[in-house]
């Protein structure tokens, strides 16, 4: 299992101008994020809304808005290109679409409304010198052949999502980043979409699935190896093989998320996540943590395949 | 922007590398450092406009001189201490005359902008709200007005009411509302189908409330913008009418009148007759544009997708 994309010490922050009496602020969207995407493996990144998940995909594809600042490294193997410092021309001509495919949230809106899905797919294949024809891509993404002749507004949400997935695969990228591809879909469609992504991973691609949906992650983890990373308030608080983390969560936040699932007790984690512009000092989860309070700031500590940012660092 | 380390969370975590701006990656997005945007533009525009308006009001008054005073011993003098903007072909002081003209032009232009905005907004909103065949008829009527050259239509109106300031105002105001009407109509059409209007209706809002609280406030920014753009246009229109001898009476200074007369003098080398009144016109336009730009930014926060372009 070889690494396709290695993120270490990634920090992202946004400068917000003050306006209408509010002072300028800094919003910390990612703190010391470390992730590794492996070929043939799916990494599921879960966390509450606004914890910085989507910013990761933007940072990795050079699509952050102008007021963003980054540091750290995001190495794209095998040549070791640093995605955070690569010039725009390299990202545009070599990386986006060709080496990293991005599946957006509500992919229907990512399609140009004035041309048919098929025309757009064929164009993507042509421009990216993709090895597969639009029809093959559509079939792989579970997109019915008849949908190729339709315009984006004629597609249902699930079909549009699959069209987005097919387009992301046009350039045959090694890495696929899917930013909440299941948002707004119902359960059977969520299952289909995640199954497709899991299949991609089995076919050798490195897949990052950003989602709220722990149930969907648990489902695909049951049928094959899946990595899980839990993000909270701009940081990764726990990561490791999904089945192990589900069986024995180390971080109280992970345990809380699992406990909030309908079939696990339906007990939500009390409280609200902190504002990213005003993170508390020390452990960001402390105000919501049920364990005896600790004063210092745990860093992510690795134990074999798993890692956790909590005290005690190695749970019994 | 000041460094705000105190408010930035988690100094304990990781990484002591310097931050790198990621913003260069998307050209045209909002810069981290304040550029010539926001409040700076507003302040510059306001200061400029206040200075110009005060000048137009105070200089002819404080000067205590008649801007129309003819002095045949000082014809086409270049700028000097006695005549900061020089004198024109019959020896009138251009400094006094330009500011007096600015006052007249601003009055004419502002009245025209108000008239065309009011007519255009009402007409456009009505057309957009009614939709269907009334909309089609109303907008074809606009096309009809636009089909006749504005100047020609203006000449007809001036010819009917001959040679007064009011006639000029009417002639410009009644020909320039079509742009505002089109902008407002398309805005109303697009707003009408937005989810927030559906939400207001499904929340129990009356038709009048939807119109007053939800549609009109959203229409105001584009309407104000297009009426601001009418300001310089109105001045040019007035110039054209004056040039044809149909505008303001020649003894009444307006920027248009001065420029129309100055055109001949330029050929004799008297550049100042055209340059200074033009500069006043340009300064007015820029000041108004600055305020308008601030207004647009304030009332229309650009969406992410727009920032990317």
Q: Is B18 on the interface with A (CB under 8 A)?
A: yes
Token pair, residue A44, equals 């599921």
Residue B131 Cα, gap to closest chain A Cα (Å): 23
Chain A positions touching B35 (Cβ under 8 A) are none
Distance in Å, alpha carbon of B53 to nearest chain A alpha carbon? 28
Contact B266, B76 (CB under 8 A): no
**Residue in A65, A84, A88 to test binding to B, most B beta-carbons within 10 Å:** A65
Q: How far apart are CA A252 and CA A236, in angstroms?
A: 13
Q: Is the pLDDT of residue B230 over 70?
A: yes
Q: Which of residues 192-221 of A touch B (CB under 8 A)?
A: none
Name every chain B residue with its beta carbon within 8 A of the beta carbon of A70: 19-20, 22
- A156 vs B1, residue with greater confidence: A156
CB atoms under 10 Å from CB of B231, counted, come to 20
Whether residue A312 is preceded by a cis peptide bond, meaning omega within 30 degrees of 0, is yes
Q: Return the percentage of chain B with pLDDT > 90, whole number.
A: 4
Among the partner-chain residues B15, B19, B30, the one whose CB lies closest to the CB of A66 is B30
Q: How far apart are CA A182 and CA A107, in angstroms?
A: 10
Q: Is the pLDDT of residue B4 over 50?
A: no
Model confidence at A313, pLDDT cuts 50, 70, 90, reads: low
- Report the residue of A10, A15, A82, A84 to disrupt the B interface, i.e. the one with the largest count of B CBs within 10 Å: A15
pLDDT at A43 over 90: yes
Q: B173: distance to nearest CA of chain A, Å?
A: 36
Please give the pLDDT value at position A38.
93
Q: Would you state the pLDDT for residue B306? A: 42
pLDDT tens digits, one per residue of B22-42 = 755 444 444 444 445 567 778
Provide the pLDDT for residue A231: 93
Q: What is the pLDDT of residue A207?
A: 95
Percentage with pLDDT > 90 across chain A: 34
What pTM, to 2 d.p., does this model score?
0.69
- Report ipTM (2 d.p.): 0.72
Interatomic CA distance for residues B119 and A181, integer angstroms = 48
Q: Out of A11, A68, A84, whose CB is closest to B15? A: A11
Across the interface, whether the CB atoms of B8 and A26 are under 8 A apart is answered yes
Beta strands in chain B (DSSP E): 20-21
Instruction: Average the pLDDT over A111-131 and give the result.
Output: 89
**What is the C-alpha separation between A272 and A282, in angstroms, rounded?**
17
Chain B nearest CA to A97, separation (Å): 16
For B123-154, what is each residue's pLDDT tens digit? 998 898 888 899 999 999 999 888 888 778 87
| Enclosing H/E stretch for B255 | helix B255-267
Predicted confidence band at A244 (pLDDT cuts at 50, 70, 90)?
Answer: very high
Q: What is the rounded distance in angstroms from the CA atom of residue B264 to the CA atom of residue A237? A: 79
Q: Are B165 and B223 in contact (CB under 8 A)?
A: no
- R_g of chain B computed on alpha carbons: 25
> Which of A:259-288 have CB within 8 Å of B?
277-282, 284
Q: Is the pLDDT of residue B6 over 50?
A: no
State the count of interchain CB pairs (< 8 A) between A and B: 117
Q: Residue B75 has which token pair?
A: 């014809």
Task: Look up tokens 């599946």; give the residue.
Answer: A103
**Residue contact A9–B14, C-beta within 8 A:** yes
Task: Tell me the per-residue pLDDT of A227-240, one tens digit each, with 9 for 90 and over.
Answer: 999 999 889 999 99
Q: Which residue's structure tokens are 């993709």?
A: A130
Task: Note whether B23 contacts A66, CB cutoff 8 Å.
Answer: yes
CB contact B40 to A (< 8 Å): no
Lowest mean pLDDT segment, chosen from A7-21, A70-84, B249-263: B249-263
Mutation site for B-interface testing, chosen from A23, A29, A67 by largest number of B Cβ within 10 Å:
A67
pLDDT at A70 over 60: yes
Helix, strand or coil for residue B21? strand
More confident residue, B58 or A143: A143
Kindly give, in sequence order, each residue whose CB lies less than 8 Å from that of residue B148, ignoring residues fewer than 6 positions away: none
Cα angle value B35/B40/B42 (rounded, 5°): 130
The 3-state secondary structure of chain A reads: CCEEEEEEEEEEEEEECCCCCCCCEEEEEEEEEEEEEECCEEEEEECCCCCCHHHHHHHHHCCCCCCEEEEEEEEECCCCEECCCCCHHHHHHHHECCCEEEECCCHHHHCCCCCCHHHHHHHHHHHCCCCCCHHHHHHHCCCCHHHHHCCHHHCCHHHHHHHHHHHHCCCCCCEEEEECCCCCCCHHHHHHHHHHHHHHHHCCCEEEEEECCHHHHHHHHHHCCEEEEEEECCEEEEEEEHHHHHHCCCCHHHHHHHHCCHHHCCCCCCCCCCCCCCCCCCCCCHHHCCCCCCCCCCCCEEECCEEECCCCCCCC
Of the CA atoms within 13 Å of residue B55, those in its CB half-sphere come to 19
B38 touches chain A (CB under 8 A): yes
Name the residue facing B1 among A24, A235, A297 (closest C-beta).
A24
Of B196 and A210, which is predicted with more confidence?
A210
**What pLDDT, on the 0 to 100 scale, is given for residue B67?**
60
Average pLDDT value over all residues in chain A: 87
Measured distance between the N- and C-terminal CA atoms of chain A, rounded to whole angstroms: 29
Rounded percentage of chain A residues whose pLDDT exceeds 70: 96
CB contacts of B30 in chain A (<8 Å) are 17, 65-67
- Does B30 contact A65 at a Cβ distance shorter than 8 Å? yes
Residue-wise pLDDT for B153-183, tens only, equals 878 888 887 767 788 888 888 888 888 899 8
Least confident stretch, A134-143, A290-299, B205-214: A290-299
Q: Is A67 on the interface with B (CB under 8 A)?
A: yes
Query: Which pLDDT value is given to residue A2?
Result: 85
Instruction: Tell me the nearest-neighbour CA distance from B42 into chain A, angstroms.
Output: 14
8 Å CB contact between B281 and B234:
no
**pLDDT for the residue numbered B28:** 44
Whether the pLDDT of residue A85 is over 60: the answer is yes
Hey, are the CB atoms on A69 and B19 less than 8 Å from each other?
yes
pLDDT digits (tens, 9 = 90+) for A209-223: 999 888 899 999 998
Q: How confident is the model at residue A16 (pLDDT cuts 50, 70, 90)?
A: confident
Q: What mean pLDDT, rounded, does chain B reach?
A: 76
Chain segment B70-113, per-residue pLDDT in tens: 666 767 677 777 677 777 767 777 788 888 888 888 888 888 88
Chain B residue numbers touching A282 (CB-CB < 8 A): 12
The predicted model gives B197-223 an average pLDDT of 82
Give the pLDDT score at B3: 39
pLDDT of residue A45: 94
Q: What is the pLDDT of residue B137?
A: 93
> Would you call B13 and A32 a contact, using CB atoms and an 8 Å cutoff?
yes
């Amino acid at each position: 299992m070889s690494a396709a994309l290695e993120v270490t010490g990634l920090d992202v922050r946004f400068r917000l101008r003050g306006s209408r009496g509010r002072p300028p602020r800094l919003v910390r969207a990612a703190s010391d994020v470390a992730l590794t995407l492996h070929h043939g493996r799916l990494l599921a990144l879960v966390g509450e809304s606004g914890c910085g998940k989507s910013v990761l995909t933007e940072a990795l594809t050079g699509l952050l808005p102008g007021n963003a600042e980054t540091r750290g490294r995001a190495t794209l193997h095998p040549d070791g290109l640093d995605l955070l410092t690569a010039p725009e021309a390299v990202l545009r001509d070599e990386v986006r679409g060709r080496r990293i495919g991005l599946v957006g949230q509500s992919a229907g809106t990512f399609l140009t409304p004035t041309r048919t899905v098929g025309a757009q797919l064929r164009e993507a294949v042509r421009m990216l010198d993709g090895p597969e024809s639009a029809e093959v891509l559509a079939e792989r993404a579970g997109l019915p052949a008849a949908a190729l002749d339709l315009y984006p507004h004629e597609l249902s949400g699930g079909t549009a999502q699959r069209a987005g997935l097919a387009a992301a695969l046009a350039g045959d990228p090694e890495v696929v980043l899917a930013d909440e591809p299941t948002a707004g879909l119902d359960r059977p469609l969520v299952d289909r979409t995640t199954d497709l992504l899991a299949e991609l991973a089995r076919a050798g691609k490195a897949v990052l699935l950003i989602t709220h949906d722990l149930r969907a992650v648990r489902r695909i983890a049951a049928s094959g190896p899946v990595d899980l990373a839990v993000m909270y308030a701009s940081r990764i608080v726990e990561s490791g093989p999904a089945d192990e983390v589900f069986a024995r969560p180390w971080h109280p936040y992970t345990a809380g998320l699992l406990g909030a699932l309908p079939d696990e007790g339906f007990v939500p984690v009390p409280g609200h996540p902190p504002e990213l512009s005003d993170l508390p000092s020390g452990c960001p989860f402390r105000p919501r943590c049920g364990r005896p309070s600790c004063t210092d700031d745990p860093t992510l500590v690795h134990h074999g395949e798993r890692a956790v940012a909590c005290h005690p660092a190695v749970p019994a | 922007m000041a460094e705000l380390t105190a408010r930035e969370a988690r100094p304990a975590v990781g990484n002591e590398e310097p931050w790198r701006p990621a913003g260069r990656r998307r050209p045209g997005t909002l810069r981290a450092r304040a550029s010539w945007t926001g409040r700076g533009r507003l302040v510059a525009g306001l200061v400029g406009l206040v200075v110009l308006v005060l000048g137009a009001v105070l200089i002819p008054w404080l000067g205590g001189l008649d801007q129309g005073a003819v002095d045949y011993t000082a014809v086409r003098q270049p700028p000097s201490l006695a005549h900061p903007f020089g004198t024109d072909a019959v020896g009138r002081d251009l400094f006094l005359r330009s500011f007096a003209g600015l006052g007249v032009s601003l009055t004419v232009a502002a009245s025209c902008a108000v008239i065309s905005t009011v007519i255009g907004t009402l007409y456009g909103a009505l057309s957009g709200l009614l939709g269907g065949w009334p909309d089609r008829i109303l907008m074809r009527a606009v096309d009809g007005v636009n089909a006749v050259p504005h100047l020609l239509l203006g000449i007809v109106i001036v010819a009917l009411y001959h040679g007064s300031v009011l006639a000029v105002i009417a002639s410009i105001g009644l020909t320039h509302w079509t742009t505002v009407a089109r902008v407002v109509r398309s805005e109303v059409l697009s707003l009408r189908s937005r989810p927030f209007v559906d939400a207001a209706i499904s929340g129990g809002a009356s038709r009048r409330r939807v119109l007053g609280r939800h549609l009109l406030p959203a229409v105001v920014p584009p309407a104000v913008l297009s009426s601001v753009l009418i300001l310089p246009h109105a001045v040019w229109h007035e110039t054209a009418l004056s040039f044809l001898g149909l505008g303001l009476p020649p003894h009444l200074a307006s920027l248009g009148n001065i420029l129309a007369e100055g055109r001949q003098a330029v050929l004799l080398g008297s550049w100042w007759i055209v340059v200074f009144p033009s500069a006043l016109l340009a300064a007015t336009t820029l000041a108004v544009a600055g305020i308008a730009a601030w207004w647009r930014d304030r009332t229309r926060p650009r969406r992410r997708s727009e920032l990317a372009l």
